[in-house]
Structure 1
């Protein structure tokens, strides 16, 4: 039996403290340069996103194997850099490990999660405001209901259903 080793990408996003976005971006560049010296390092990427007065910096590191990525994550160099990065950021990092070849969930599961996250809000809206909505012309009624239902489903319903289902039914 032949096994194939796939690269592993680890990404983390940090929110910069006010007026420290440039320092955080410089720190991220140093982190990438340090990671590049580790065996198995393939590439690094730093992206900066600004929303109003808040800046977020995302660092992505790709290693040839999970073992190489683990060696970087266990290194004292990384620990030292993370400690220095803490001084520049607010909140906990948002991290993800992206392993190529991991299939997305089946479409039927995604459809079920979206429906289950949307249905309760649609039911309550129609029960509570049905008569008032029925009096409205179709276009404004549709604009209003979708403007209410989509954010509720995306920010409340779908995450809740996803947590309840966990990784089952994959």
Structure 2
């Protein structure tokens, strides 16, 4: 998903008796975030028990827009309100090539080890590097090598980001996220998911 580079995932455990206030707070956060540039949507994952972990996913189209929201006085005010109702949060952010390995069905999962991402990236890159220059050769044959390379990369990177890597990551999901995949599937059956996108 192109929005993954601007995702922030927040997990909190609510203090006993504060659940209703916290639910109102996270809906307020989502509504406030929706007024900021680059906002794409948000999701709330409710815990199976009142003492469980609540998760809020906010999606922006770029890391810069995400950071603009996080640095705003409005966001800081909501954070202060949430802090009064919860234990210290766990926060994760996705930037750069880590976004290639982010899956919507595993919204709060650490990236795989770098050596695994290197192997899977090579699997995705190899056919593109092998085939794309040949396909583009009629259009780039008369161009300087630096310009022909730029054309190849300009087409290759969007293909990798939005078409190739999401499919390759799903193909290798059991290997990239061993154990976590089954746990996430079990959690998805327990959690009530609320889409609070505008």
Which bin holds the TM-score, normalised by the shorter protein?
Answer: 0.5 to 0.7
Q: How does 1:41-120 map to 2 (within 5 A)?
A: 41-51=39-49, 54-90=51-87, 92-99=88-95, 100-102=99-101, 104-105=112-113, 106-107=115-116
Cα gap change, 1:6/1:61 in structure 2, threshold over 3 Å: closer, same or farther? Answer: closer
5+ long unaligned stretches in structure 2: 102-110, 119-178, 180-198
Q: Normalising by structure 2, what TM-score?
A: 0.47
5+ long unaligned stretches in structure 1: 110-153, 155-170
Query: 2:89 is paired with a residue of what secondary structure?
Result: strand
- 4+ long deviations beyond 4 Å: none
Q: Normalising by structure 1, what TM-score?
A: 0.54
2:38 pairs with 1:40: yes
Aligned length: 105
1:25 to 18, 23, 26: 23
Whole-Å separation in 2 of the counterparts to 1:108 and 1:97: 17
Residues 56-88 of structure 1 show CA distances to partners (whole Å, capped at 9, x for unaligned) of 221111100011011001000000011111111
Whole-Å separation in 1 of the counterparts to 2:100 and 2:116: 17
Higher Rg: 1
Whole-Å separation in 2 of the counterparts to 1:36 and 1:26: 16
- Alignment match, 1:168: none
Q: Please state which structure has a larger fraction of its residues in strand.
A: 1
- Root mean square deviation, CA, Å: 2.7
Q: Is the 8 A contact 2:13 2:86 kept in 1?
A: yes
- Alignment match, 1:11: 9
Which structure has more relative contact order (CA 8 Å, sep 6+)? It is: 2
